[in-house]
Structure 1
Amino acid sequence: MNALRPSLKVASFTMFIWAVMMFLVMVPFAHEDHRSMQGLFISGSVCIVLSVVLMMLGRGAVPRVGSKPMFYVTTINWGLLCLTGALPFYFGLHDMRFVDALFESVSGVTTTGSTIITGIEKIPPPLLLWRSLIQWVGGIGIILMAVAVLPFLKIGGMRLFQTESSEWSYHQNNRIGAVSRQIGLVYVFITIAAILTFWILGMSFFDAVNHAFTTVATGGYSTSDASFGQFNDKLSLVWAGSLYMFMGGIPYLLYVSSLKSKKPLVFKDSQVQLFFKVVAISTLSITLFRFWQHEDQLSFAVFTHTAFNVVSIVTTTGFATEDYTLWGSFPLVVFAFLMFSGACSGSTSGGIKLFRFQLLSLTMREGMFKSLHPSGLYPRRYNDRPVSEGVLSASLAYVFMVLISLMVFSVALSLTGLDPVTSLTSTITALMNVGPGFGDIIGPAGNFTTLGETAKLLLCLAMLMGRLEFLALLIFLSPRFWKW
C-alpha cells in the first residue's frame, strides 16, 4: 500500500482538477440547454466522487518516492485521465458507445488526434471545447513527464536529459515544482499568443481557442471534418498554424532556459538544429517533386500547404489542409519517415524523437571507427555532454520495442479484418501518436469510425503505449513488476 499511496494522492488531485475543468467548460454555455451540459455535469460529479475516494485510500505519510511508485503514478494517472475523459462524450452524445467515447478520449489525452466522430460541425460546442481541452492538458502532461519522470525511470535513453528536476529526492521537491511552474507558464503564454494570432487573422474566437489548444499541444483535433483545410482561403492562418505546431515540437525546457539566461539556447541545441533541417529539406523536396509531377503546381500556395502538412506530420499533430495521399508516392514515403521520427524530446510531439536517431548514429559511427581502429578511443558526446553506455542501450531497447510493437499490433489488427495498408498505417499512427494514416479508411480524408470495437481497443492500447514511451506501460503490466 505504501508504494501505491503516492499514486493515489496524485490521482485524487488529478481527478479534482479534471472535474473543475469539466465544470469550467460549461460556464460559457450556461444559457444553452444541451444534453452535452448534462453529460459534463454528471462526468464532473463522478470525478469529484473519485477524487474523494482516492484521497481517503491514499491517507497517510508518503514515503520517499522510488522508481516503483513512479511507475504507479505514471500509468494509473494516465489511465484514469483517459477513462474519465471519455465520460462527457458517453453521457453527452446520443448513440455514443463507451468504446467510441474511450477511443476519442485516449486519442485526445495522448494528443494523437485520431477521431471516430463524423460531422464534427454538428457536435455541441461544449463537447468540442472539452475535446480540445483534453489535448491541451495531455500536451502539458507529456512535457512534464519527459522532463521529470522518464529520466528518473531511466526509460528510452531519457537520462540524457536528466536535470535536478529529474532526481525525485526529498531535497529536490521544491525544484521539481519550480521547473513545472516555469514550463506551465511558458505553455500558457504560447497558447494565449496562438489564440490571439488565430483570432486576429480571421478565425472566430471559438475556433481560435479550440485550434490554439490543439495546435500548441500538437494534438490535431479540429472543429470541422475538413480539419485545418477549412481555413485554406487564408494562407496567413495556415502559416500561423505551421509556426505554432513547430514551436510545439521544440523542447519546452529550452524555452525556460532561454528566458532565464536571456540567450537563444533553443538554436544551439543539436536536436533542434536537426529538427529545422528535417522540416526544411522535407518541405523543399516535396514541393519540387510536386512541381516536377505537375509543372503548374509551383506556387506560394503549394509551398504553404506542403510546409504545413510536413510540420503537422513531423510534430505528430495530425492536422491536414489537403489530402496529401494524392500527392504521389514520394511524399508518402517521406511522410512515413516523418511519422516515425517525430520532433524533439521534451516537446508535445510523439514519434521516436530525433535525439534517438542522433544517438544511434553515434553508435553506428563508433562501430565503424572501432572496426578500423580496434584500440582507438571514440568520444561519445551529445550537446557537449558525455553519453553513457546505459543511455545508448536504453535507446536501442526503445527502438526495438517500437519495431516489435509495430509487428504485433499490425498482425492483431489484420486479424480483425482490416486490409494491410490500414492495419500497418493505423498501427504507426497510434504508436507514434500522429493522427491520420494512409488509405481510404483512415487517411486525412477519412476517420476511424468504421473500425470494429476490437480494433479500436487495440489502437487505444497502442496510443497509450506510445505516449508512455512503451517500456513504462510494459513494465507496469509485467508480472515481475508486481512481485518486485
Structure 2
Amino acid sequence: MRRIRRLDEWGRQWAPVLKIISMLWLVLAIFMAFPLAVLAIEGEPDVKAFGVSIAIVVSAVALVWLATFRVSVELKPWQMFVLTALSWTTISGFASLPLVLGAPQLTFTNAVFESVSAVTTTGSTVMVGIEFLSDGLKLWRGIMQWLGGIGIIVMGIAILPFLKVGGMRLFRTESSDWSDKVMPRTGGIAKATLGVYCGLTLAAMLAYWLGGMTLLDAVVHAMTSLATGGFANSDASFGAYANQPQLLWMGSLFMLSGALPFVLYIRFLRGSRLSLWRDQQVRGLLTLLLLVIVALTTWRIWHGTPPFEALTHVTFNVVSVVTTTGYASDDYGTWGALAFVAFFYLTFVGGCSGSTSGGMKIFRFQVAMILLRNQLRYLIHANGVFASRYNHQALTDDITRGVVAFSFFFFLTIAGLALGLALLGLDFTTALSGAATAVANVGPGLGDIIGPAGNFESLPAAAKWLLCVGMLMGRLEILTVLVLLTPMFWRR
C-alpha cells in the first residue's frame, strides 16, 4: 500500500509537467507538417520520413494526454525547473527524427547533435553538402531554430525570472512590471512577443528575397537570423553571398534585431518610442559592437583589404559572433592574430537578456563593471556609501548573487567541458573554442576543424554528446540545470 501511495503521489507531481510538455510536442508535430507539404508537392522521398516522424510524435502526445487529461496544469516552482530542462531535451530528441529517417540518414548521435544545436539556436553543424539536401530538410533546419528562438524569448521573459534565474528582473519599469506578474499575464506576454517575432521574421524574409535570395533561402535565413541560430542552406554559410554586400548588411541588421530585448519592442509599439535607446543594456551592446567593428576594420584595411569590403565583412562577422548567431561570410580565423583572439573573446559576450541570443549577456558585464567600480571606491573611502543602480533599478543582493554565481559557473562549465574534450584527444584550440561556443550557443569555434570554414562532423561521438550537454546548459542559463543536480532540490 505504501508503494502504491508513493506511485500515486509521484504521478500527481509529474503529470502536470508531462501534460504541458506534450502540448509542446504537438506544436512540434504541427510544424513538421510544413516541410512535409513542401516535400509532397515536389515529390521528394523525404516525405515519408516526416510522415513517420509526425506519427511518432502525435502518438507520444496521445499517450500522455490519455494519462493526464484530467490533471490541472498549475505548476509549483520545482515543477517549472523540471519542465524547463525536460522540454528542451525531449523536443530536441523528437526534432531529430526526420534527420535519422530522411535522406541524410544521420547516425543517432549526429542527428541529436544537429537538433540540439538547432533548438538551442547554437548553429554548430555536422552536416556536409547542405546545399544538396531536399528543400523540406532545409526548411526543417530553419524551423527548428525559429521555434527554439521563440522558446528562448518566452523562457527568458516569462519563466526564468519567476525562478529567479536570468536577467529580466533588471528590466522592469513602473508601467510594465512583467517579470513579477508573469504568471497571470503569461498569455498576454506570449501573444505580444510572438507577434513581434513573426513580424520581424516576415520583414527579414521580404528583405532577403528582394535582396537577391531565392524564396526558400529567404525563408530559412530569415528564421535563423531572427533566432540568432546561424543555420544556412550552404556549407559556406553566409559566405555563399559574400559577393552580395546588400545581403550581408541586411543579415547584420536582422541578427542585431534578434539580439535586442523583445519587451522593448513591445514597449516601443505601445508608444514608448525611445525605450530601446534609453535601455542601458542596448546602449552597451551597440557601443561594444561599434568599438570592435572600428578596431577590426582598421586592422583589415591596414593589412590591405579594400575599405568597404573590410567594413562589410567585419560588421557581419562581429555582429554574428556577438549575437551568438554563428553565420560566417569569411574565415575570420585567417585575419591575423588580433582578429583570432578578438573573436575568441567575443564568443563569451552574447546579446541582451530577453532576446534570442546566448552567451553571458551584455548586462552581466555591465553589472560586473558597476561592482568593480564600487569596490575600488570602497578601497579609497572605506566608510563610504555608494548606490549601485542599473537601468534605473537598484542592484539588490539577490541580483548581484545571481550575476556572480552565473558568471562563475559559466566559465567553470566551459573549463570542465574543454577538459573533457581534451581527454578525448582534441587539440587545445578545438577543445577550448568548442566548449566556449557550445556553452555560449555561438556555433562555429576556432581552428581548422570547427572554425568558420569547418564543421563538427569529424569529432568523436563522445565529444558530440559532451557538446550537446554544453549547448543545453548554456541555453538554460546553467543554474536551471545545476539546481536539478542538488540533493536539496529532490528533498522538497
Q: Report the TM-score when normalising by structure 1.
A: 0.96
Is residue 2:134 matched to residue 1:124? yes
- Segment drifting more, 103-112 vs 19-28: 19-28
Q: Deviations over 1:422-472 (max 9, x none)?
A: 000000000000000100000000000000110000000000000000011
Report the Cα distance in structure 2 between the residues aligned to 1:3 and 1:272, rounded to whole angstroms. 40
Q: Deviations over 1:379-434 (max 9, x none)?
A: 11111111101100111000110121111101101111111110000000000000
Report the counterpart of residue 297 of structure 1 in structure 2. 305
Report the counterpart of residue 103 of structure 1 in structure 2. 113
Report the counterpart of residue 411 of structure 1 in structure 2. 419
Report the Cα distance in structure 2 between the residues aligned to 1:157 and 1:397, rounded to whole angstroms. 12
Deviation of 1:156 (Å) = 4.3
Report the Cα distance in structure 1 between the residues aligned to 2:167 and 2:237, rounded to whole angstroms. 35
Report the counterpart of residue 310 of structure 1 in structure 2. 318
426, 431, 453: which is aligned to 2:461? Answer: 453
361, 364, 374: which is aligned to 1:366? Answer: 374
Deviation of 1:176 (Å) = 1.1
Is residue 2:80 matched to residue 1:70? yes
Report the counterpart of residue 426 of structure 1 in structure 2. 434
440, 451, 458: which is aligned to 1:443? Answer: 451
Report the counterpart of residue 38 of structure 1 in structure 2. 48
Report the Cα distance in structure 1 between the residues aligned to 2:163 and 2:133, rounded to whole angstroms. 40
Report the counterpart of residue 135 of structure 1 in structure 2. 145
Deviation of 1:29 (Å) = 2.7
Report the Cα distance in structure 2 between the residues aligned to 1:407 and 1:115, rounded to whole angstroms. 22
Q: Taking structure 1 as reference, are residues 49 and 431 closer, same or farther at Cα in structure 2, changes over 3 Å only?
A: same
Deviation of 1:369 (Å) = 1.5
Report the Cα distance in structure 1 between the residues aligned to 2:446 and 2:300, rounded to whole angstroms. 18
Partner AA of 1:233 in structure 2? N
196, 215, 231: which is aligned to 2:225? Answer: 215
Q: Taking structure 1 as reference, are residues 158 and 165 closer, same or farther at Cα in structure 2, changes over 3 Å only?
A: closer
Partner AA of 1:370 in structure 2? Y
Q: Is the CA contact 2:170–2:391 (under 8 Å) kept in the aligned structure 1?
A: no
Report the Cα distance in structure 2 between the residues aligned to 1:302 and 1:52, rounded to whole angstroms. 54
Report the counterpart of residue 255 of structure 1 in structure 2. 265
Report the Cα distance in structure 2 between the residues aligned to 1:80 and 1:361, rounded to whole angstroms. 38
205, 209, 223: which is aligned to 2:215? Answer: 205
Report the counterpart of residue 284 of structure 1 in structure 2. 294
Report the Cα distance in structure 2 between the residues aligned to 1:94 and 1:267, rounded to whole angstroms. 45
Deviation of 1:122 (Å) = 1.3
Q: Is the CA contact 2:171–2:391 (under 8 Å) kept in the aligned structure 1?
A: no
394, 397, 402: which is aligned to 1:394? Answer: 402
| RMSD between superposed Cα atoms in Å | 1.5
Identity of aligned residues (%): 40
Report the Cα distance in structure 2 between the residues aligned to 1:268 and 1:250, rounded to whole angstroms. 13
Report the counterpart of residue 178 of structure 1 in structure 2. 188
- Number of residue pairs the alignment of both structures matches: 479
Deviation of 1:262 (Å) = 4.2
362, 383, 390: which is aligned to 1:375? Answer: 383
Report the counterpart of residue 27 of structure 1 in structure 2. 37
Q: Report the TM-score when normalising by structure 2.
A: 0.95
Report the Cα distance in structure 1 between the residues aligned to 2:295 and 2:42, rounded to whole angstroms. 49
Q: Is the CA contact 1:156–1:397 (under 8 Å) kept in the aligned structure 2?
A: no
Q: Is the CA contact 1:8–1:57 (under 8 Å) kept in the aligned structure 2?
A: no
Q: Taking structure 1 as reference, are residues 118 and 391 closer, same or farther at Cα in structure 2, changes over 3 Å only?
A: same
SS at match of 1:3: helix
Deviation of 1:7 (Å) = 1.7
Report the Cα distance in structure 2 between the residues aligned to 1:183 and 1:33, rounded to whole angstroms. 36
Q: Is the CA contact 1:253–1:346 (under 8 Å) kept in the aligned structure 2?
A: yes
Partner AA of 1:431 in structure 2? V
Q: Taking structure 1 as reference, are residues 40 and 63 closer, same or farther at Cα in structure 2, changes over 3 Å only?
A: closer
Q: Which runs of 5 or more structure 2 residues have no equivalent in the other structure? A: 1-10
Report the counterpart of residue 240 of structure 2 in structure 1. 230
